[in-house]
Chain A
């Protein structure tokens, strides 16, 4: 990764207490999401960026200013880094009012100036009228706004947020997400947030860093990670259900296809020449690339990688119905797909019903074989 003078650059390496091996770059105005399993080191990375912990080895710079360089023994204190940090449970000062909480981040300024800046922020985060309330008199969403205002009032050079939406209900969550998107247009600083919620990351982030056991497995735009994961571990982090093992047969450059053997099927996937013929690979497909055949009237698309099986499980979730198809009737080979509930009804889908689907070539993504955890 090229080290740039603008934005935030982070390189961390350590074995204990939490193993870390990550390199992150976040441009001004960019919003990055760190996703991964709990205990995987995401929060540790935020804490290290903030200066609340130091890694065994590492380097952090922001807009060309070095905050941490373990080789040179340099570590700038959290107070001097000018970061805005929204803690997971917000960590508001419980004995201070909303205004006092925000002003507490401006103690270096004269009182009048503090008041003025705090009231501007209170307006931006929609807390007008609640200035004199104590944190315990606020709802979860309001507390999050106070934490955000306190983090932003110092004009930080980086905004860090640890699970910022985890403690609020669904409606508030959507509102806060909308506000964050609005806010991004006003502040042009690197923003990094940690989340275990893939939806948050998909909706808000410009880029996602998939982190497991402290190691960055892959980073890129959300749809890249979703459609083209580097390996099965990333695919699982992106909650891809359909991950299987197959063997590359050969490549057909004229038709732009790679043929893959899977069970007794010969699948045609889009051309992926990085995998050699004979190589055993993992392959994945998004449920949206799995198309259900009409049960009573076959159609033209049925020719594309037709697969047969039975409905193993069927779950109606409002407008959508989730189907777990047991390929060739084998319970171990489960293929997940989603259809509209009215389609499921029209096709009289029920458990044990025989169905056929097509796997669209464009959606079949091959990855190097990785042992399951």
Chain B
């Protein structure tokens, strides 16, 4: 078991969740209640990481944020290190490939909040901000938990994009899934099986949790 890889994976998943949570609440809520020209295109962009091969996504990330790109150069000028093959780059990639896992459950959760309940809040004197905190968020919390769990689990398991963007640098970009691949390459099946079992358990737990939340929400709405 490579504890540093597990630690890195958990750290990456944690920060991905921290950054994606507010972003997914904002974007999910906006997509749920607003109609605008090009909405379908925005929704498609959010969903693209679901269907795109991780290598293709990784390739474009390197292209966009690599040292040859203006964003990459700008980042290096400010921080003194590049985005590719570093934890920062890994985090950025992780945020992008997790967009659908965070935003889609949030959007579905906000869509399930009845419009007239929000209107009742306004008629009861609540400002839009108070309505958001007191009514919308408590009613959409199951969606928020689903988003968090799915994002967390998906980050732990991601392989292709991580390899493309981060490479395989111990304690910097070598996550658990990369470590497993590494061990199998070296015929160290014992270590690979322990680490695989950890990821498998976490994934099953996460998905079960999301389903339980879904049942709970349906029962509440019944």
A: residues with CB less than 8 A from B are 50-52, 77-79, 82-85, 87-89, 91-95, 104-108, 136, 150-151, 154
Please list 11 pairs of residues, one from A and one from B, whose beta carbons are closer than 8 Å in the complex, sorted by A's number: A52-B123, A79-B122, A85-B119, A87-B119, A89-B116, A91-B119, A91-B120, A93-B117, A93-B134, A107-B130, A136-B222
Query: A108 with B125: in contact, given A94-B220, A95-B139, A136-B220 (CB under 8 Å)?
Result: yes
Q: Give the complex CA separation of A85 and B117 in angstroms.
A: 11
> Contact check: which of B119, B130, B139, B221 meets A52 at CB < 8 Å?
B119
Interface presence of B34 (CB below 8 A): no
Nearest-CB residue, chain A, relative to B116:
A91
Residues of B within 8 A of A107 (CB): 125-126, 130, 134
Residues of B within 8 A of A84 (CB): 123
Which interface residue of B123, B138, B220 has the most chain A CB atoms within 10 A? Answer: B123
Do A79 and B135 have beta carbons less than 8 Å apart? no
Query: A85 with B139: in contact, given A136-B220, A154-B125 (CB under 8 Å)?
Result: no
Do B117 and A91 have beta carbons less than 8 Å apart? yes
Chain B: number of interface residues, binned into ranges: 20 to 34
Interface presence of B92 (CB below 8 A): no
Residues of A within 8 A of B125 (CB): 79, 82, 105-108, 154
Binding site secondary structure of chain A: loop
B: residues with CB less than 8 A from A are 114, 116-117, 119-127, 130, 134-135, 138-139, 220-222
Interchain nearest-CB distance for A178 vs B (Å): 25
> Contact check: which of B114, B124, B139 meets A154 at CB < 8 Å?
B124
Interchain nearest-CB distance for A240 vs B (Å): 34
Do A87 and B120 have beta carbons less than 8 Å apart? yes
Interchain nearest-CB distance for B144 vs A (Å): 14
Nearest-CB residue, chain A, relative to B125:
A79
Q: Give the complex CA separation of A89 and B124 in angstroms.
A: 16
Nearest-CB residue, chain B, relative to A95:
B138
Do A150 and B138 have beta carbons less than 8 Å apart? no
Known: A79-B122, A85-B119, A94-B220. 20 other contacts (CB 8 A): A52-B122, A52-B123, A78-B119, A78-B122, A79-B125, A82-B125, A87-B119, A91-B119, A91-B120, A92-B120, A93-B121, A94-B139, A94-B221, A95-B139, A104-B134, A105-B125, A107-B125, A107-B134, A136-B222, A151-B123
Residues of A within 8 A of B138 (CB): 95
Do A94 and B117 have beta carbons less than 8 Å apart? yes
Do B121 and A87 have beta carbons less than 8 Å apart? no
Do B135 and A93 have beta carbons less than 8 Å apart? yes
Interchain nearest-CB distance for A133 vs B (Å): 14
Residues of B within 8 A of A78 (CB): 119, 122-123
Interchain nearest-CB distance for B145 vs A (Å): 15
Q: Give the complex CA separation of A82 and B125 in angstroms.
A: 7
Interchain nearest-CB distance for A76 vs B (Å): 12
Q: Give the complex CA separation of A85 and B126 in angstroms.
A: 13
Residues of A within 8 A of B221 (CB): 94
Residues of B within 8 A of A154 (CB): 124-125
> Contact check: which of B123, B127, B220 meets A85 at CB < 8 Å?
B123
Nearest-CB residue, chain A, relative to B114:
A91
Residues of A within 8 A of B120 (CB): 85, 87, 91-93, 150
Interchain nearest-CB distance for A181 vs B (Å): 24
Q: Give the complex CA separation of A92 and B116 in angstroms.
A: 9
Do B123 and A83 have beta carbons less than 8 Å apart? yes
Interchain nearest-CB distance for B128 vs A (Å): 9
Residues of A within 8 A of B222 (CB): 136
Q: Give the complex CA separation of A88 and B117 in angstroms.
A: 11
Residues of B within 8 A of A108 (CB): 125
Do B121 and A104 have beta carbons less than 8 Å apart? yes
Nearest-CB residue, chain B, relative to A90:
B120
Nearest-CB residue, chain B, relative to A154:
B125
Residues of B within 8 A of A83 (CB): 123
Q: Give the complex CA separation of A91 and B130 in angstroms.
A: 17
